[in-house]
Amino acid sequence: MRRPGKTTRRTAATASAALALALGATACGTATGPASGGELSGQTVTVAGVWTGSEQKNFKKVLDAFTAKTGAKTVFVPSGDNVSTFVGSKIEGGNAPDVVMAPQVGVLRQFAKEGWLQPLSDEAAKTAGSSLAPVWKDYGSVDGTYYGLYFKAAHKSTVWYAPQAFAQAGVAAEPKSYADLLKAGRTLADSGRPAFAIAGEDGWTLTDWFENIYLSQAGPQKYDQLAQHKLKWTDDSVVKALTTLGELFKDKQLVAGGAQTALGTDFPSSVEQVFGPEPKAGMVYEGDFVGGIAKDQFGKKLGEDAKFFPFPAVDGGSAPVVSGGDAAVVLKDGKNGKAGMKLLEFLAGPDAAEVWAGAGGFLSPNSKVDLAAYGDDTTRDTAKSLVAAGDSVRFDMSDQAPAAFGGTKGAGEWKLLQDFLRDPSDPQGAAAKLEAEAAKAYGN
Amino acid sequence: MADTLTADSGTADSGTAKSSSTAGTRTARRPADPRRLARRRKRRLAILFVLPALLLLGALVVYPVVFSVGRSLFDADGDRFVGVGNYAAIVHDPATLKAIRNSTIWVVVAPLLLTGLGLMLAVLTEKVRWATAFKLVLFLPMAVSFLAAGIVFRLAYEQDPDRGVLNAVAVGVHDTFDDAAAYPTARIREGQGLTGRAGGPYSTEKGVRTGGSVSLGFVGVAPDAVPAGAKAAAAPAPAADGIAGVVYLDFAPGGAGTPGRVDPGEKGLPGMTVEAVRDGRVAATTTAADDGSFRLTGLADGEYSVRLPAANFAAPYQGVNWLGPALVTPAIIGAYLWVWTGFAMVLIGAGLAAIPRDALEAARMDGAGEGQIFRRITVPLLAPVLTVVFVTLVINVMKVFDLVYIIAPGPVQEEANVLATRMWLVSFGGGNDQGLGSALSVVLLLLVVPAMVFNIRRFRRSGA
């Protein structure tokens, strides 16, 4: 009788958590800072973004810095997860925010296609041009017009590991190639700790695995072509990358608990398997945000109990840096577009980024940001690696794809890579299925 | 909506007024027929009263249906006419075909099981003392929303026995009868004298002569998975009358040591079963001691192969993979049964109470057994109620959505989809192909129609 009782309690907890979330989401934006006699005093800039919790708190610090500099009042409006629906309805309602932080490149493109965006001012474009690698401009542009300023970036080419597990297994050097990575993984397995925790229940982690391998193995040109579906998924390079990935997936020593368990593991649990109280694996691959979870949820000290190394190069290519980011855009329909553009000019400079860098949980693609501004060495290293990668940075391919292919639970690329994890024996067949789904979603 | 309603009723009013005045002028010319007039006025009044309901029905039911049918003939963006293209896509899309298959399973299995269960429980509860309390408990899940029930069952079906109740039971029962193996993760190092498929059994590559000794190295055992009593492994001294050896963990902390050799710091694997085999027959069996050493004695002279049976390495029982591709639909149907059994039972119970007692008494007097009474009297008399329950459930099952959506994890969502979830996912869950979604909803409508017609016919008959 005790077990059902426990379950009910957990459900109650889940329900109340959901309720708290819902309440939090409906809570309205709050104005910050009194107007002091700056150049924009008396004006209010409204900023919409997906950020909640500590991210929202830290972004507000950036907005406060803007207020202190210019005297403009700032309001942050949480948009909820579906930014495009939110912004669309606000524009219809004649109440558009001035600035939106677009969380994916697809959202930015959609906004530009709808004709909602103002191009960056010359000033903002110039500041950005001097500090951001050109690739960020490309991802911020649609049909040659520069709309989106990348302010916050994610680094999705970091393999996180428990140093104790490496020491126990006697793996001294961080792997520099994919072959080394698998070898280190096997040594780890020999020591009794399976190599990788793979979050197979969340399809997006599998697409990130594939993208890193593909970017390094096939190179950035092919990566771009595949992202736009100018290259077919049945291409040999895709089959080769899937075969390379399958080498890891099919090895029982490398996947903690085997594919079956991996498919029942969601992303937070995969971090728990490495950094939680009962470790079941030695490494987990995902973005820089793994560090945040290891630190906040499992009390690990970054750089000591939780370390990372860059995703290693595959087959002699250069090491991949897959990224993503939030771009600031100015809406045409905002009431204070000019002041909004001033905010973008501010965000393009290093000062804004340094404010958030100090608060933590943030990476800036801006090369002028003082690395000393970051709170800890691990974050500093990720930021350094991101900036150093310069033009070879590529955005998450599945984020660039139509949602039906690259962003839907239980469908498209997510589902097919999950099937591939379950049975990695036929890369050719998997590639064919991926191509069929991609052709349907891209419509080309 | 409210505006149009008042406006319409306004015109209807003035219409009535006008026609009565024309009727008045007509009276002047021709002899009046008051009965016809009254009938006409009555009909007008009826239309007036029905109008609001008709408008509501039109706006909320007829218009969406017509719109969906129209929309289903266009492509995803709604600009290009594709005729029956979307319907052809349904037949060619494996994911949608899976949804149709699942919907069929649902419609066939769930109502039948529910009606059967309801009937059984209704008949049984009639005969127990605490019937009301029992019924109350069975009916309680009806008060739980599908969303909450979904979350509860998602947890109950978890694979990990520490989280999923059902697997906790399954694993608990299994392990009571079958001990878990000592070294489920252990495996051999390739090329160090042992061969065998992953998971065992492993045997020596070369035969071992009596009087010889072997050292059998294993890896893949976590330090905390080695039994507490294990001692440092020692290379065995050869024994004259048999085969001596050591089973040890060929991995020292920090990765030191040479593979294939007993190095300092490497521990024995106590409790490992070792067999000496010749010509496919086991000649001797023993168990390794705390330092991993073993001695196979009582062997006739000759060459043996030393084997470690698979039982040493059997993977621990994982429980049932409820939410895997094969079982996910039955599992969700199970959750649905939990919610709806009470409904079927109470309805059938009510029907049961209305059965004339004298028929049952008469049958009993004539010496019929309980089984006979049930088959020959209770069920036939209950048939109308059973049909109502069955048809209601068929309609309900057709539109099941929440349970499937919540319980099925991402990787198997496609395997669990029914028409309703597929329709929603296609229309709004990423693909945003509302043309195909509309086509699916039309198919769903066509499937529900026969059940509706059947129900309406029945109501008419019982009303007449």
pLDDT (average), residues A385-406: 88
Using the Cβ of B225 and the Cβ atoms of chain A, whether some distance falls under 8 Å is answered with yes
The reported pLDDT for the residue numbered B208 is: 84
The reported pLDDT for the residue numbered A313 is: 94
In a domain, A213, yes or no: yes
Residues A198 and A287 in one domain: yes
State the best of B185, B218, B320, B433 to mutate against chain A, taking most chain A CBs within 10 Å. Answer: B185
Residue with tokens 């066509």: B446
DSSP letters, A398-431, are HHHS-HHHHS-TTSHHHHHHHHHHH-TT-HHHHH
DSSP letters, B301-348, are SSEEEEEE-GGGTPPPP----TTSTTTHHHHHHHHHHHHHHHHHHHHH
Chain A CB contacts of B413 under 8 Å are 409-411, 415
State the best of A85, A104, A190, A421 to mutate against chain B, taking most chain B CBs within 10 Å. Answer: A190
Domain carrying residue A222: 159-320+404-442
In a domain, A16, yes or no: no
The reported pLDDT for the residue numbered B431 is: 66
B417 to chain A: closest CA residue = A410
* B191: closest CA of chain A, how far (Å): 14
Rounded to an integer, what distance in angstroms lies between the CA atom of residue A97 and that of residue B115? 56
* B55: closest CA of chain A, how far (Å): 29
A194 to chain B: closest CA residue = B220
**Of residues A4, A190, A200, nearest to B411 (C-beta):** A200
Residue ranges and CATH numbers for the domains of chain B are: 85-167+322-463 (1.10.3720.10), 187-312 (no CATH)
Lowest mean pLDDT among A258-262, A370-374, B99-103, B312-316: B312-316
* A433: closest CA of chain B, how far (Å): 12
Contact B425 A441 (CB under 8 A): no
Chain B CB contacts of A408 under 8 Å are 425, 429-431
How far, rounded to the nearest angstrom, does the alpha carbon of residue B356 sit from its chain's CA centroid? Answer: 40
Contact B254 A7 (CB under 8 A): no
The one-character DSSP state at A363 is -
Q: What percent of chain A has pLDDT over 90?
A: 56
Using the Cβ of B432 and the Cβ atoms of chain A, whether some distance falls under 8 Å is answered with yes
In a domain, A29, yes or no: no
Contact A403 B432 (CB under 8 A): yes
Q: Provide the residue count of chain A.
A: 444
Residues A232 and A277 in one domain: yes
Chain A CB contacts of B429 under 8 Å are 408-409, 411
Residues A412 and A291 in one domain: yes
The reported pLDDT for the residue numbered B6 is: 40
**Of residues A15, A192, A261, nearest to B223 (C-beta):** A192
**Of residues B159, B323, B410, nearest to A409 (C-beta):** B410
Using the Cβ of B254 and the Cβ atoms of chain A, whether some distance falls under 8 Å is answered with yes
In a domain, A214, yes or no: yes
The reported pLDDT for the residue numbered B265 is: 79
Residues A306 and A367 in one domain: no
Residues A256 and A329 in one domain: no
pLDDT (average), residues A180-208: 91
CB burial of residue A148 (10 Å; 0-12, 13-18, 19+): buried
The answer to whether residue A16 scores a pLDDT higher than 70 is no
Amino acid of residue A399: D
In a domain, A108, yes or no: yes
CB pairs under 8 A between A and B: 113
Cβ-contact B111, B394 below 8 angstroms: yes
The answer to whether residue A13 scores a pLDDT higher than 50 is no
Using the Cβ of B413 and the Cβ atoms of chain A, whether some distance falls under 8 Å is answered with yes
Which of A150, A126, A155 minimizes the C-alpha distance to A392? A155
Contact A404 B431 (CB under 8 A): yes
Ramachandran angles phi, psi of B77, nearest 5°: -80, -15
Contact B430 A189 (CB under 8 A): no
Chain B CB contacts of A401 under 8 Å are none
Tokens of B318: 């994982």
Residues A361 and A214 in one domain: no
Which of A362, A378, A395 is the last residue before a domain boundary? Answer: A395
* B369: closest CA of chain A, how far (Å): 38
Please write the tens of the pLDDT for every residue from A265-317: 889 889 999 999 989 899 999 998 898 888 888 988 888 899 999 999 999 88
Residues A412 and A389 in one domain: no
Tokens of A188: 């780890």
Residues A166 and A121 in one domain: no
At residue A106 the predicted structure's pLDDT band, cuts being 50, 70 and 90, is confident
Bond from prior residue into B201 cis (ω within 30 degrees of 0) = yes
CB burial of residue A260 (10 Å; 0-12, 13-18, 19+): middle
In DSSP terms, B105 is beta-bridged to: none
State the best of A408, A416, A444 to mutate against chain B, taking most chain B CBs within 10 Å. Answer: A408
Q: What is the mean pLDDT of chain A?
A: 86
At residue A3 the predicted structure's pLDDT band, cuts being 50, 70 and 90, is very low
Using the Cβ of B189 and the Cβ atoms of chain A, whether some distance falls under 8 Å is answered with yes
In a domain, A35, yes or no: no
* B356: closest CA of chain A, how far (Å): 41
Rounded to an integer, what distance in angstroms lies between the CA atom of residue B411 and that of residue B324? 9
The reported pLDDT for the residue numbered B406 is: 92
The reported pLDDT for the residue numbered B448 is: 86
The reported pLDDT for the residue numbered A86 is: 86
The question of ipTM being above 0.90 is answered as no
State the best of B251, B338, B417 to mutate against chain A, taking most chain A CBs within 10 Å. Answer: B251
Using the Cβ of B148 and the Cβ atoms of chain A, whether some distance falls under 8 Å is answered with yes
Residues A344 and A359 in one domain: yes
Interface of A with B (CB under 8 A): 3-4, 7-8, 10-11, 14-15, 167-171, 187, 189-193, 200-203, 252-253, 260-261, 263-264, 403-404, 407-412, 414-415, 418-419, 422, 441
Residues A384 and A408 in one domain: no
Residue with tokens 């990372």: A308
Contact B165 A170 (CB under 8 A): no
Dihedral-angle region of residue B213 (phi above 0 means left; psi in -120 to 50 means alpha; beta otherwise)? beta
Contact B160 A264 (CB under 8 A): yes
Ramachandran angles phi, psi of B272, nearest 5°: -70, 130
In a domain, A131, yes or no: yes
Question: In this structure, what CATH number is given to the domain that contains residue A382?
Answer: 3.40.190.10
Chain A CB contacts of B410 under 8 Å are 201-203, 409-410, 414-415, 418
Contact A192 B148 (CB under 8 A): no
Using the Cβ of B253 and the Cβ atoms of chain A, whether some distance falls under 8 Å is answered with yes
Residues A292 and A334 in one domain: no
In a domain, A28, yes or no: no
Residues A224 and A272 in one domain: yes
The answer to whether residue A24 scores a pLDDT higher than 70 is no
Rounded to an integer, what distance in angstroms lies between the CA atom of residue B379 and that of residue B374? 6
The number of domains in chain A is 2
The reported pLDDT for the residue numbered A109 is: 87
**Of residues B219, B408, B425, nearest to A190 (C-beta):** B219
Cβ-contact B295, B246 below 8 angstroms: no
Q: Provide the residue count of chain B.
A: 464
* A300: closest CA of chain B, how far (Å): 21
Contact A8 B159 (CB under 8 A): no
Order of strands across the sheet that contains B213-219: B187-188, B213-219, B243-249, B293-296
**pLDDT beneath 50, residues of chain B:** 1-27
The answer to whether residue A150 scores a pLDDT higher than 90 is yes
The reported pLDDT for the residue numbered A2 is: 35
Cβ-contact B201, B307 below 8 angstroms: yes
Q: What is the pTM of this model?
A: 0.78
**Of residues B158, B189, B222, nearest to A193 (C-beta):** B222
Which of A405, A408, A411 minimizes the C-alpha distance to A435? A405
A251 to chain B: closest CA residue = B198
